């Protein structure tokens, strides 16, 4: 749209349908919710979470990012949570989407015990953001190979959930400096922080799954 010689950026609200995958268990159980990384789909983190031994008697859900596209090599449908363009709008849209999905899961399931958010890579930021938005509705966070979003430092609704952070020694993106920054920030916000440093890169490993199992058992009590 132009007015004279000036280019003007406009925004409109659009309704879209999101998608989640769910592996429920019978009866009452805690809820584990996953957020996948960039260029992945809901199925990728669902399978990763189901590989955690302690999750066998949890309801396990995986939320797929709204922005879908094709993997150029495999032609699989994958997704991403956001880009730097219109970042603030994307954050608001994503938070509203997660809240709506959590409400649908609450209506559908018998939830008893903690609700835990787990994110990998870009999905780690979504786990943190969702926890900040939902406040006491989230009782724990597992973040693997992804950093804390900068706006969390100003989060007014942060309920100090315990956090497990996983980092590979060969991960060039989520490196030790980022981990140290995140640990200090989260502790400053009042959360207890556990670290799982493993031999490997930007990936899920058996070491992290075992530590995640212990984390879930502790939260469940």
Number of H helices, E strands in the chain: 5, 11
Q: What is the pLDDT of residue 123?
A: 98
List of residues 6+ apart from 125 with CB closer than 8 A: 81, 119, 146, 147, 148, 149
Class of domain 20-220: alpha beta
Show the DSSP H helices in the chain as ranges. 42-50, 87-108, 122-134, 176-188, 206-220
Q: What is the pLDDT of residue 1?
A: 47
List of residues 6+ apart from 171 with CB closer than 8 A: 145, 200, 201, 202
Instruction: Report the alpha-carbon distance of residue 194 to residue 166 in Å, rounded.
Output: 9
Q: With a cut of 70, which residues of the chain have pLDDT below it?
A: 1-4
Q: What is the pLDDT of residue 132?
A: 96
Q: What is the pLDDT of residue 102?
A: 97
């Amino acid at each position: 749209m132009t007015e004279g010689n000036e280019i003007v950026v406009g925004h409109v609200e659009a309704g879209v349908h999101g998608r989640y995958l769910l592996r429920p268990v019978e009866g009452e159980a805690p809820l584990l919710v996953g957020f996948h990384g960039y260029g992945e789909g809901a199925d990728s983190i669902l399978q990763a979470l189901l590989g955690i031994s302690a999750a066998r008697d949890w309801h396990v859900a995986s939320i797929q990012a709204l922005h879908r596209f094709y993997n150029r090599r495999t032609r699989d449908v994958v997704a991403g949570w956001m880009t730097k363009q219109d970042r603030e709008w994307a954050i608001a849209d994503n938070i509203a989407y997660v809240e709506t999905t959590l409400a649908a899961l609450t209506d559908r399931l018998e939830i008893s015990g903690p609700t835990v958010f787990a994110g990998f890579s870009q999905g780690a930021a979504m786990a943190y953001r969702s926890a900040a938005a939902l406040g006491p509705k989230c009782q724990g966070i597992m973040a693997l190979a992804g950093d804390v979003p900068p706006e969390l430092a100003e989060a007014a609704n942060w309920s100090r959930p315990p956090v497990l952070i996983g980092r590979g020694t060969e991960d060039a993106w989520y490196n030790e400096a980022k981990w140290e920054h995140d640990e200090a920030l989260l502790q400053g916000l009042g959360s207890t922080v556990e670290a799982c440093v493993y031999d490997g890169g930007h990936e899920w490993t058996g070491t992290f799954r075992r530590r995640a199992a212990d984390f879930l058992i502790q939260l469940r009590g």
